[in-house]
Amino acid sequence: MPQAAKEFFAFTAAQLEDRRRNPRDDYLTQLASGALGDRPLTDGEVGGILMSFFIGGHHSTTAAISALLHHIITESGVREALANDPGVLPKVIEESLRLSTPLAHFARTVLQDTEIEGCPVPAGSRILLNYVSANRDERRFADPDRFDLGRRPNPHVAFGFGGHLCIGRHLARAEMTTVATQLLTRLPDIETDGEVRFSGLIGGNLHRILEFPVRFTPENPNARQNRTADGK
Ligand code: HEM
C-alpha cells in the first residue's frame, strides 16, 4: 500500500477511536458505530468508504466542471440566458452533465436469470451500464445531441441510479454552481481561443477535456479586494 494511503488509514483509525470515546453529531461518529449485517464495520472498511469519496469525487467533478465551462462558453444562447436570469444555471448544469457525462459506464453482476429487451441474460453474467448512451437515448430525450435549456424533465443518469446513485451528487452540483458563478462574475468576457481537445476514454471510463484555450480580460485586483472585503 502506498505510504500516503497508509497515513490516511492511520489518520482515519485515530479519528474513529476519538469518535467512539467522544461521540458527537457528525458523520464520522455514525460511521464509527456502523455495522454490516450483525457485525461492526472495521476501521479499514470505514477508511475504504472514505477513500471512495476521494476517488469518486475527484476526476469526475473536475471533468464535469471543465465540460460545464466549455458548454457555457461555446453553446449558442447560454451566456445570454444566464445573464438574463442566473436562475437558469441549474438547467445548464443538468444539460451539461447529460451531454458530457463524465463517467461513461459501470458494471453489474446479474443475480438471477432474466431477459433484457428479448435478450436472455443468465445469472452470473457481467453487464455494462452505459450512462453516456443512456443520456442520449432518443426514446427518453427528444433531439438528444442538442444542448437544450428547455429540457424538462431531464432524467439523465450521469450520477447513476438506484442503490448506487452517486452519494456526492449534491456536493458536485454545488461545486459546479460555485465555479460557474465565479467565472461569469469575474471573467465576463471569457471566450475560446483555439481548438478544444477531448481525452476520449481514460482508464476505460472517464471522459474529460484535455485542453481548452481561452482568452479573457484579467480581473481588476481592486474589484477582487472589494469583493473579499464585502465577504462576497
Ligand atoms: C460530477 C461529478 C460526479 C459524477 C459524474 C459522479 C458519477 C457517479 C456515478 C455514475 C456513480 C454510480 C456508479 C454505479 O452505477 O455503480 C457514482 C457513485 C458514487 N460517487 Fe459519484 N460522481 C460525481 C461526484 C462525486 C463526489 C463529489 C463524490 C464524493 C464526495 C462521489 C462519490 C461517489 C461514491 C462514493 C459512489 C458510490 C456509491 C455507491 O456505490 O453506493 N461522487 N458517482
Centroid of ligand 1 to alpha carbon of 54 (angstroms): 10
pLDDT tens digits for range 127-142: 999 999 999 999 999 9
Domain annotation covers residue 196: no
Mean pLDDT of 47-53: 94
Ligand 1 atom nearest the C-alpha of 61 is: 2
Domain annotation covers residue 207: no
Centroid of ligand 1 to alpha carbon of 158 (angstroms): 9
Residue 31 clears pLDDT 90, i.e. is over it: yes
Domain annotation covers residue 131: yes
Centroid of ligand 1 to alpha carbon of 229 (angstroms): 36
> Strands (DSSP E) along the chain, which ranges?
35-36, 39-40, 105-109, 114-116, 119-121, 126-130, 191-192, 197-202, 206-211, 214-215
Q: What gap in Å lies between CA 70 and CA 186, rounded to an integer?
A: 16
Same domain? 72 vs 103: yes
Same domain? 43 vs 155: no
Mean pLDDT of 79-86: 95
Domain annotation covers residue 198: no
Residue whose CA lies nearest to ligand 1 atom number 19: 166
Ligand 1 atom nearest the C-alpha of 65 is: 1
Same domain? 3 vs 111: no
Domain finish residue from 57, 75, 90:
57
pLDDT of residue 47: 95
Residue 231 clears pLDDT 50, i.e. is over it: no
Q: Which of 23-32, 85-94, 156-165, 202-211 has the lowest average pLDDT?
A: 202-211
- The CATH number for 105's domain is 1.10.630.10
Domain annotation covers residue 217: no
Same domain? 44 vs 6: yes
Ligand 1 atom nearest the C-alpha of 53 is: 29
Q: How many domains does the chain have?
A: 2
Domain carrying residue 115: 59-190
Same domain? 90 vs 118: yes
Domain finish residue from 39, 57, 75:
57
| Residue 60, helix vs strand vs coil | helix
Residue whose CA lies nearest to ligand 1 atom number 15: 160
Same domain? 46 vs 95: no
Same domain? 109 vs 76: yes
Same domain? 108 vs 176: yes
Domain annotation covers residue 40: yes
Residue whose CA lies nearest to ligand 1 atom number 9: 159
The H or E element spanning position 95 is helix 89-99
CB 65 within 8 A of CB 181: no
Same domain? 27 vs 51: yes
Same domain? 173 vs 88: yes
Amino acid identity for residue 178 in this structure: T
Q: How many CB atoms within 10 Å of residue 222?
A: 8
Residues with CB under 6 A from ligand 1: 52-53, 56-57, 60-61, 64, 102-103, 106, 131, 158-160, 164, 166-168, 171-172
Residue whose CA lies nearest to ligand 1 atom number 1: 61
Same domain? 35 vs 110: no
Domain annotation covers residue 124: yes
Domain annotation covers residue 221: no
Same domain? 97 vs 185: yes
